[in-house]
Amino acid sequence: MPALHVISSRPPQHQELVLLGVRLDAQHDGPQFYTLLAVGGDNERPIMEDGRLLFFTRPELAGKALALDPNLSQLGPAPQEIETFCDVAQALHLVNSQDADPEGVILECLLVFDDLVRATQLHMPDRYQGLLTELTARLTERARLRDIFSSHQLREHVEDALLWCIGAIAAKSRMLFE
């Protein structure tokens, strides 16, 4: 009996590279470092080399970083314009003490952290995973921070979860300076 070819009911999604800027230090104006993300397909992920996330200090180094990841380099040339900005410093400030996040800074960081932490292949503690998943869902529904954070203790737990993510990302990263 000849083999039957299964036709996918879903057309292949177009995947592209985006340049992500990251800021950790609240005293710094703008991004402090950058990475590339493959977005738009079934395998959204950051640029990697030998199981490590690749970050670089200037957008001009995107091409050099891209050359280190043969899978992502197939998606085309490295973008030079920032498309996504993960303002970790501002997200931590908002979580710690504010009642509103009109620009969606926290949600943007949570979505970026999801991709980055998943790529590290480190196991996030269940309590942090549950907390951040619930927070992402509430922010996606446009809930206000004052309605989400019913206690200062809850703010501290979310801050701990975000700091765990930062540590996991840092521990499994490589930085390109030149």
pLDDT tens-digit map of 66-91: 999 998 999 999 998 999 999 999 99
Residue 52 lies in a domain: yes
* Predicted TM-score (pTM) of this structure: 0.89
Q: Does a structural domain hold residue 113? A: yes
Q: Which residues span the domain enclosing 145?
A: 16-176
Q: Is 10 a member of any domain?
A: no
User: Could you tell me the two tokens for 95?
Assistant: 């979580």
Residues 51, 121 contacting (CB under 8 angstroms): yes
Q: Considering the domain boundaries, does residue 11 fall inside one? A: no
**pLDDT in 10s for each residue of the chain, 178 residues:** 455 454 455 555 678 999 999 999 999 999 999 999 999 877 789 999 999 999 999 999 999 999 999 989 999 999 989 999 999 999 999 999 999 999 999 999 999 999 999 999 999 999 999 999 999 999 999 999 999 999 999 999 999 999 999 999 999 999 999 8
Cβ partners under 8 Å of residue 13, min gap 6 = 40, 41, 42
